[in-house]
Amino acid sequence: MKPGFRFAVEAVDGAARAGTLTTPHGSVPTPLFMPVATAASVKGVDIGRVAETGAGVILANTYHLHLRPGEALVEQGGGLAQFMGWGGPTLTDSGGFQVFSLAEQVKVTEEGAFFRSHIDGSAIALTPEAATRIQERIGADIIMQLDHVVALPNDRGTVADAMRRSLRWAERCQAAHQREDQALFGIVQGGLEPDLRQESAAALGALGFPGYAVGGLSVGEGPEAMQAALAATMPYLPADRPRYLMGVGQPQDIVAAVAAGIDMFDCVLPTRCGRNSLIYTFSGPLRLRNAIHAADQRPLEEGCPCVACRHSRSYLRHLFLSGEMLGPVLASIHNLTFYQRLVARLRAAVVAGRFAEVARAVGGVWPGDPTEPRGGD
């Protein structure tokens, strides 16, 4: 394990775990949810308000930061956390997903991914070594290997080739990684094929990464398929290392993934939905533009400590209908706070040995919502 980086499982209920993740920038309880700060900014929410939501780790994206402002400027600003004024731990995605979802004219070879920027069309080569070097300069506490992401559904041969290429790239990232104050995570791939997921997880486990991510899910495959992929993967990952499900997601998906043994999450949904007046509560979704809220003097959710819940639903609806930017900002803060309260509630349930009961109560009010892809906000 890297100096200054530790993970301890402190309670287990079924496969669900409660633990503590320690990094050079502090310790945070798990399960944890990371707000997405794609370009070193949680969209619409200043860093002080992000801290007030209870967030422990913030995620930023290598692809976007490499294109603008460039890793050299982030490095000159003291590294990612200092650059954006955040005092806690940070994580950077390698940019693999964004290359295959945003970039133009992408060509993948064994050497790496070659593409043109979606911003200015400039030619860029992203190899495992380059992705690692860029992340070292950005300076996050946790960085990710470069993986080869393919669309789902896809034919088995394409998925298998991408998974095995990701394994070879994992070894190259590991060989290139020099910073002792960073933890490099491997990423499990394999689509919806259980045996490919198992092969990927077992091979990565043998490489001894300090943590492991499960990638290539939350791309429209549906909750049952995601849960089947997790069931195939979890037994092959080391039990003493943190497990991170990338880009997930809806509250019911987080509940199901914690039940499977996942410790870490990120997703753009809290802020993206907040900007579009969709509110998360423990009673289910609340669509703030609906006329039923026009004269409702209640807060968005009783007992929520966020700044948005100091105001009435009536007032917040008025802000949206009036086009006031404060409406999306407050809704985003509430949703980010909800996600932190959700993972805290799941953690407490594991510690108390009541996870199944709490999971049924929480997950049952969020049926049928679509998952969202891993990506920028």
Which residues are tagged catalytic?
93, 266
HEC secondary structure over the chain: CCCCCEEEEEEEECCEEEEEEEECCEEEEECEEEEECCCCCCCCCCHHHHHHCCCCCEEEEHHHHHHCCCHHHHHHCCCHHHHCCCCCCEEEECCHHHHHHCCEEEEECCCCEEEECCCCCCEEEECHHHHHHHHHHHCCCEEECCCCCCCCCCCHHHHHHHHHHHHHHHHHHHHHCCCCCCEEEEEECCCCCHHHHHHHHHHHHHHCCCEEEECCCCCCCCHHHHHHHHHHHHHHCCCCCCEEECCCCCHHHHHHHHHHCCCEEEECHHHHHHHCCEECCCCCCEECCCHHHCCCCCCCCCCCCCHHHHCCHHHHHHHHHCCCCHHHHHHHHHHHHHHHHHHHHHHHHHHHCCHHHHHHHHHCCCCCCCCCCCCCC
> What is the Cα–Cα distance from 350 to 142, expressed in whole angstroms?
25
What's the distance, CA 129 to chain centroid?
23
> What is the Cα–Cα distance from 44 to 23, expressed in whole angstroms?
27
> What is the Cα–Cα distance from 115 to 100, expressed in whole angstroms?
9
Residue for token digits 């709490």? 358
Ramachandran quadrant class, 26 (left: phi over 0; alpha: psi -120 to 50; beta: rest): left
